[in-house]
Amino acid sequence: AQKVTQAQTEISVVEKEDVTLDCVYETRDTTYYLFWYKQPPSGELVFLIRRNSFDEQNEISGRYSWNFQKSTSSFNFTITASQVVDSAVYFCALKGGATNKLIFGTGTLLAVQP
Amino acid sequence: NAGVTQTPKFQVLKTGQSMTLQCAQDMNHNSMYWYRQDPGMGLRLIYYSASEGTTDKGEVPNGYNVSRLNKREFSLRLESAAPSQTSVYFCASSETGPGGHGYTFGSGTRLTVV
């Protein structure tokens, strides 16, 4: 069975603080893919990143960075110098290599206060 | 812009009424999906269609039916709506086959059953 756990239900930070969103996954597949999506208050789902199980390199995109560690089955997301516009629900998701089904975590609501 | 189009955006139904949520994509994707999003539950897969002519149950299929009308369109039908089906519904599409194909989501349908 595949599962994604986002233990942090809500996080509140003040603007310019750094914040890390945790994601822990379970899968028996040797090939799998991990995703992060952002859902701003407007409600749409915005793709942020995809990482495959063979690539453990961390990735940085502007203020966003992702730390993938197979040893701990984690794919954490860090926002540096958070901004009010980062306020959203963030979902981590997992897709096994042999399936098209994307399994989502329950999401983390990030509130960035000015 | 290319993408996934869902209609309607909002709907209020009375218990026992039926309705069909429409979804169309213009990206020539083979696979299409219906998810529901509920507070604290993340996104849960209702039904999916790996290719035209095929449909399969997801995690929460009870009370729903789907039709893959053609490659572009994938509809979700509630035959007898219940208050427990109050939710936000998302349609998505993706390429088929092994690989980290990301999903493209529609903007969602907010359904209230009273």
> Could you report the per-residue pLDDT of B67-94, keeping only the tens digit for each?
998 999 999 999 999 999 999 999 999 8
In 3D space, the residue among B35, B12, B8, B17 whose CA is nearest the CA of residue B113 turns out to be B12
β-strand pairing of A74-79 with A102-104:
unpaired
For residue A45, the chain B residue with the least C-alpha distance is B105
Interchain contact, B96 vs A44, CB within 8 Å: no
- What pLDDT score does B47 carry? 96
- What pLDDT score does A55 carry? 83
Give Cα A11 distance to the centre of its chain: 14
- What pLDDT score does A99 carry? 73
Give every residue of chain B whose pLDDT is below 50, as ranges: none
The percentage of chain A sitting over the pLDDT mark of 70, rounded to a whole number, equals 99
Phi and psi at B61, nearest 5°, equal -85, -15
Interchain contact, B102 vs A44, CB within 8 Å: no
> Could you report the per-residue pLDDT of A31-42, keeping only the tens digit for each?
899 999 999 999
Nearest-neighbour CA in chain B from A98: distance (Å): 5
> Could you report the per-residue pLDDT of A2-19, keeping only the tens digit for each?
899 999 999 999 999 999
CA torsion, ordered B41, A90, B27, B46, to nearest 10 deg: -10
- Does any CB of chain B come closer than 8 Å to the CB of residue A30? no
- What pLDDT score does B97 carry? 62
- What pLDDT score does B46 carry? 97
Interchain contact, B101 vs A97, CB within 8 Å: no
**Is residue A30 exposed (0-12), middle (13-18) or buried (19+ Cβ within 10 Å)?**
exposed
- What pLDDT score does A60 carry? 84
Nearest-neighbour CA in chain A from B102: distance (Å): 7
- What pLDDT score does B109 carry? 96
- What pLDDT score does A57 carry? 80
Interchain contact, A100 vs B94, CB within 8 Å: yes
- Does any CB of chain B come closer than 8 Å to the CB of residue A9? yes
The percentage of chain A sitting over the pLDDT mark of 90, rounded to a whole number, equals 76
- What pLDDT score does A22 carry? 98
- Does any CB of chain A come closer than 8 Å to the CB of residue B47? no
Mean pLDDT of chain A: 93
Select from B10, B35, B37 the residue whose CB has the most chain A CBs within 10 Å, as the one to mutate to test that interface.
B37
- Residues of A numbered 48-107 whose beta carbons fall under 8 angstroms of chain B's beta carbons: which are they? 50-52, 91, 95, 97-98, 100-107
- Does any CB of chain A come closer than 8 Å to the CB of residue B31? yes
Residue B97 gets the label, from left (phi > 0), alpha (psi -120 to 50) or beta, of left
Number of CB pairs < 8 Å for A and B? 53
